Amino acid sequence: MAEAKLQRFLSKYLRSGHRKGLASGWKTMIGGLAILGSSTTGHACSLALVLAMDSSASVDAREYHLQINGLADAVQDPDVINAIEAVGGIYLTSFEWSGRYQQVEQLGWRLLDNTDSARTAASIIRQAPRGYTEFPTALGYALGHAAVLMQRAPTHCHRKVIDVAGDGINNDGFGPDSAYKAFDFENVTVNGLVIGSPDTIPVDYYYREVIKGPGAFVEIASTFDDYADAMKRKLIREIIGNGLAAAD
């Protein structure tokens, strides 16, 4: 049943022209559907997803507004909801991050399994006030915080994914490599969403230092105005698993 739902969703989504980031993995995804369908039987959820949003000093008020609303829009997008329903539901939490000790919850762990639950989560995210504006980019600390949140997921999930969005490289405290050594990332895939800026796009840094685990990838938003579309693409890839996401 789960395999059939996923096949229908993927076929419809690709026919509608949404091929970026999905077409290249089409055969792999289809090959992984049977595994996902059989493995999720008896499990409480298919995916535990931690979203980490950059709110460092390099993100001004307008850019933060585009991020928070773009994330909320993506969570309640019909295609994302269809993907969520196709895998039988996911658990989601999100937080903003900046300095070493500046991580602020936007959405506590919550089950999303239909339109109403997705819209409720989107509303909570949209209304979350910004915690900080003046701190640097402590990416390693953000990853450590995300790993701790993953350990606190309310139930066992077939896949575990951390989704880190940012517009720069680590410039405060320990970096991603140290975070991966100090915290538990077993069976966790870490993906990145890089936001372009006039002077730099740290894509190489995210590929080299940030992403981790089976099927890990980097999504790119050339500007903050493109954030919502990039987040939507990213969420769909993470929800359907790309046939490659970590499983235990």
Q: How much is the mean pLDDT over the chain?
A: 85
Give residue 12's pLDDT.
Answer: 60
Q: 92 pairs with which residues across the strands?
A: 49, 110
Helix, strand, or coil (residue 60): coil
Give residue 202's pLDDT.
Answer: 84
pLDDT tens track for 218-244:
999 988 999 999 999 999 999 998 544
Cβ partners under 8 Å of residue 123, min gap 6: 72
Cα–Cα distance measured from residue 149 to residue 52, given in angstroms and rounded to the nearest whole number = 11
Domains of the chain and CATH, by start = 2-243 (3.40.50.410)
Q: Which of 225, 234, 230 has its CA nearest to residue 63?
A: 225
Interstrand relation of 103-112 and 90-97 (parallel, antiparallel or unpaired): antiparallel
pLDDT tens track for 18-36:
555 554 444 444 444 444 4
Cα–Cα distance measured from residue 203 to residue 196, given in angstroms and rounded to the nearest whole number = 9
Distances (CA, A) of 187 to 55, 71, 184, 241: 27, 25, 9, 13
Predicted TM-score (pTM) of this structure? 0.84
* Torsion sign (Cα): 73, 77, 80, 84: positive
Q: Is the pLDDT of residue 148 over 70?
A: yes
Cα–Cα distance measured from residue 193 to residue 236, given in angstroms and rounded to the nearest whole number = 13
Q: Which two tokens stand for residue 153?
A: 């997921």
